[in-house]
A and B are shown apart, each in its own frame.
Chain A
Amino acid sequence: MWTYIVRRTLYNIPVFLAIVFVLMLALRVNDPVSAQLGKNAGEEQIRLLTEEMGLDEPFIVQYGVFLKKLVTLDFSERSWDQGFPVSEMIFKAVPPSMAITIPTLTVTAMIAICVGLVSAFNRGRAIDRSLMFIAVIGMSISVLVYIILGQYFGAFVPSESIEGWPFQVAVDASAGESALFFFQPAQWVAFCMLPVMINVVVALGYDARFYRAVMVEESQRDYIRTAKAKGASTRRVMFVHMLKNAMIPIITRIMISLPFVITGSILIEVFFGIPGMGRTLINAINSKDFPVIQTFTALFAALFIASNILTDVLYALVDPRVRLS
């Protein structure tokens, strides 16, 4: 297995190098220095910042320097906009993102798998049609609508009439700098639970339909008929036989979502004021914060590649028929 992991990692290195190359090229199409300095920038000022950022060097040199930093995990370069080292920004942004995305991923997967199982087992019946109708409605509505309505009817309106209503519209200054703030039960309920609920509702439609399709396929296999013939209970057929055999697509689906645990969800973080990775990245894009955009995007690419490799490894662990060679 280790040989396989090493080989897949080596195969993916050119992919990663190409991503970083294209990323750096794209960021330099428009002069990032003029964009950063704004309306009063003089030529001397533009020259100084260009030199300070190493943008006066040939592109290939800049590429080499950035790769070296990535390989040595040197994220000490400072944000243009904030003056903070990028590493510090990453460390501060990951925990709040995880406070939202881990519960979202877990709850969504659990509910969607159950809905998929129930739907598949009752294929064609009213319960199946109702669940899928709700799923389609759910996935047809923009996430922005859920957020706007969620903030209004989930936090603002009830807080006007119900004393002690737990959900807040957005994170306020009380959050301070503590990385653990969002992991305290009371704070999590106040600031994270509503965003998690919205995220779950948004993701549920897609996931439930996907898992239903997987389960429908599994439910037509011979081993299900055999299990039923041997007198296994419905619950046992669904949760032991069918679920176990459907693990490959389930793992794929979950693993695809795994990098989002770190990267966060941009709109949710922006609207609810959660200082996570998504909000940090969108802020960096808005303020043309070149070092942050570059480092974050390269990291995201690395995370996606890593999760792909991990997915293959998990296949072999859950399904003995899969051999890593």
Chain B
Amino acid sequence: MLKARRIAALGLAAVCLLNAGTAIGAESTEKKDELKVMQLPIRTDGPKSLDPVEGSTTYDNMACAQFYETLLTNKYASPMEMEPLLLAEMPTTEDGGTTWHFTLKEGVYFHDNACFPGGKGRAITPDDVFYSIKRLADDEYKLENWWLLDGTILGFNEYKDAQNAADEFDYDAPVPGFRKINDREFEIVLTKPVYRFLYILGMFQTSVVPREAVEYYGKDFARNPVGTGPFILDTWVPKQSLTADRNPNYHEVFYPGRDEWSREDKRARLHRAAGKQVPFVDRVEFTMFIEDQPMWLEFNAGNLGYTQVPEDYFQEAFDRSSKELKESFLRKGMRPHANKLLDFTFRGFNMEDELLGGYSTEKRALRRAISYAIDLDEINETFYSGRRIVYDGPIPPGLDGHPEDGRSEAAARGRNIAMAREMLAQAGYPDGKGLPAIRFYTSQNAINNAVSEMVKRQLAEVNIKFEPVFMDFSTLIEAINKKKAPMFGFAWSSDYPDGENNLALFYGPNEAPGSNHYNYKRPEYDALYEKVLTMGPSEERTAIYAQMRDMILDDCAYVGGMARERFYLMNPWLLNCKPTERYYGWFKYLDVDDSKRE
């Protein structure tokens, strides 16, 4: 009996404690209710690190961009264009792009944090910029993003080799390409003019971090971001949620002016906050969703500001043929937005493969026969409800060098059965006779399995035997890197909005295990690539891009490509939202109107 009473008393105490916890929670919830809080989803399991130098995924980018900032950034109103963020103005050059002069913006301070004396964030200096870039060279961080600046800055490769060979990495050792002029001005000297350098200064991996924080937190720096960004980390529960509060000392950044928005954007009232200081919300709460259903239901319940529209739910929200949002969603005040992604999805050939590779007329004809026999439009209609964009060449829609209407005369665009048969005969396999089965390596998933079956059927019509080999993604990468895959399914998402990024996929020195998975090697192509590297946007450069594109298409190094169009939906309470996947520093422009929540 006594025992039972004791248990009851313990139980009562536990309930009281829990209730006390709930009461405290309720009080803080009331305070939170007075704040402008924005709830957003992160599709998949979110970031793996909050240290920009260790980041590589979209989700690392999305998280880091709230806390850290880069020298340059994309424009919110027109994301293909760049503008200064931590700089007072765009960098200038007087020698054709070898030496770049930078002036830091005034009044930019790091977040208040215990790593600084007195816990007060200090102003950024050129030393912070140099330090942050030097971290990319430190093998402590596994050189995950070294490829961004490899061979770009004067003396930086030598610095990297020397410091990594030394007992300790010396961040104070000089790099000839870094020149500090004063506390706001500095220069960076490149090995040669490389136009993409400016894009790289807008990539989150080159964000400016304070040395004090890296040294103070050590290995835990990846969980304690200290930057200049619009938000300060509150909590990060990996794979679960991330919450951040407004940075009260955020520097002067204003919502894009009225004239920066297109007519269509103005119709969506995206210009309503023109010229106002950002950020608008006090707190942002990200929830990670591994599965699409809970994200979709949470959005529909009005608990999330926006959502990507998952493939499985597209026809629930949009009319399949017109791609218009359905009436039931419009009635709830939801707004749609579509983004063309800089995607390049393809089926590549290993140009060193005994059967499919090579540059002779016969080998080229065999690859073109395969390409002519494959009907990408049928694949698009059947598996993606026609939402993918089929185009010729490796340069995705929206970029210089993308062919008009997505078509190039050099391409062996299917489906053209007559041409496929003619090419087969030219290759020495009339009507497919004597042609061994084509082994196609691809990653295992439901869509790939089904698509491969369709390709098998399409190729069978010209008597080409197609043998898909399914494997997990890591095995696929390994097979491609070791040049073992004769034909393979893969995709590339552009790192920055310049066709050069995709043309690099066919540059000889980048052969496997580098990004040239096709092992495509043509000296004249390589020479053109080296030339365009130093060129800024111009008609001449676009013409060279087209020439390189057609060279690849003529050799038929791959079958494809396709780009995705991503659809978004926004709840009426989320304001100023124009989702883009070019960069993720745009959350600071968002606002909420709690009166529009149900």
Please say whether chains A and B are actual partners in one complex.
Answer: yes
Chain A binding surface SS class: helix
- Which residues of B have CB within 8 Å of A92? 237
- Interface status of A170 (Cβ within 8 A of chain B): yes
Query: Is A159 a contact partner of B240 (Cβ separation < 8 A)?
Result: no
* Complex Cα spacing A160 to B300, Å: 9
- Interface status of B474 (Cβ within 8 A of chain A): yes
Binary contact readout B172-204 vs A (1 if CB under 8 angstroms, 0 otherwise):
000000000000000000000000000000000
Query: Is B242 a contact partner of A173 (Cβ separation < 8 A)?
Result: yes
Query: Is A177 a contact partner of B49 (Cβ separation < 8 A)?
Result: no
Binary contact readout B113-136 vs A (1 if CB under 8 angstroms, 0 otherwise):
000000000000000000000000
Selected from A30, A82, A148, the residue in CB contact (under 8 A) with B474 is A30
- Interface status of B330 (Cβ within 8 A of chain A): no
Selected from A40, A148, A173, A271, the residue in CB contact (under 8 A) with B241 is A173
For chain A, residues 125 to 146, give those with C-beta under 8 angstroms from any C-beta of chain B.
none
Binary contact readout B533-577 vs A (1 if CB under 8 angstroms, 0 otherwise):
000000000000000000000000000000000000000000000
Q: How many residues in A have their beta carbons less than 8 Å from beta carbons of B?
A: 56
* Complex Cα spacing A32 to B475, Å: 10
Selected from B15, B223, B293, B478, the residue in CB contact (under 8 A) with A148 is B293
- Which residues of B have CB within 8 Å of A184? 18, 21-22, 25
Query: Is B45 a contact partner of A49 (Cβ separation < 8 A)?
Result: no
- Which residues of A have CB within 8 Å of B143? 42, 44-45, 48
- Interface status of A65 (Cβ within 8 A of chain B): no
- Which residues of B have CB within 8 Å of A176? 235, 237, 241, 243
Query: Is B303 a contact partner of A172 (Cβ separation < 8 A)?
Result: yes
- Which residues of B have CB within 8 Å of A175? 237, 240-241
Identity of the chain B residue whose Cβ is nearest the Cβ of A172 in the assembled complex = B287
Binary contact readout B436-471 vs A (1 if CB under 8 angstroms, 0 otherwise):
000000000000000000000000000000000000
- Interface status of B359 (Cβ within 8 A of chain A): no
Binary contact readout A168-198 vs B (1 if CB under 8 angstroms, 0 otherwise):
0111111111001001111000000000000
Query: Is B475 a contact partner of A30 (Cβ separation < 8 A)?
Result: yes
Query: Is A30 a contact partner of B515 (Cβ separation < 8 A)?
Result: no
- Which residues of A have CB within 8 Å of B287? 170-173, 273
Query: Is B144 a contact partner of A170 (Cβ separation < 8 A)?
Result: no
- Interface status of A222 (Cβ within 8 A of chain B): no
- Interface status of B426 (Cβ within 8 A of chain A): no
* Complex Cα spacing A40 to B143, Å: 10
Selected from B21, B146, B219, B300, the residue in CB contact (under 8 A) with A156 is B300
- Interface status of B377 (Cβ within 8 A of chain A): no
- Which residues of B have CB within 8 Å of A48? 139, 142-143
Q: Known: A38-B56, A175-B241, A271-B291. Is A169-B301 also a contact (CB below 8 A)? A: yes
- Which residues of A have CB within 8 Å of B39? 172-173
- Which residues of A have CB within 8 Å of B241? 171-173, 175-176
Identity of the chain B residue whose Cβ is nearest the Cβ of A185 in the assembled complex = B18
Query: Is B300 a contact partner of A45 (Cβ separation < 8 A)?
Result: no
Binary contact readout A272-289 vs B (1 if CB under 8 angstroms, 0 otherwise):
110100011011001110
Query: Is A160 a contact partner of B48 (Cβ separation < 8 A)?
Result: no
Query: Is B294 a contact partner of A180 (Cβ separation < 8 A)?
Result: no
Query: Is B289 a contact partner of A35 (Cβ separation < 8 A)?
Result: no
* Complex Cα spacing A63 to B557, Å: 44
Q: How far is the CB of A262 from chain B (nearest CB, A)?
A: 18
Query: Is B289 a contact partner of A170 (Cβ separation < 8 A)?
Result: yes
Query: Is A169 a contact partner of B144 (Cβ separation < 8 A)?
Result: no
Query: Is B49 a contact partner of A271 (Cβ separation < 8 A)?
Result: no
Other 9 A-B pairs with CB < 8 A, given A175-B241, A180-B21, A275-B239:
A39-B477, A40-B144, A42-B146, A173-B286, A174-B285, A176-B241, A275-B240, A283-B45, A286-B290
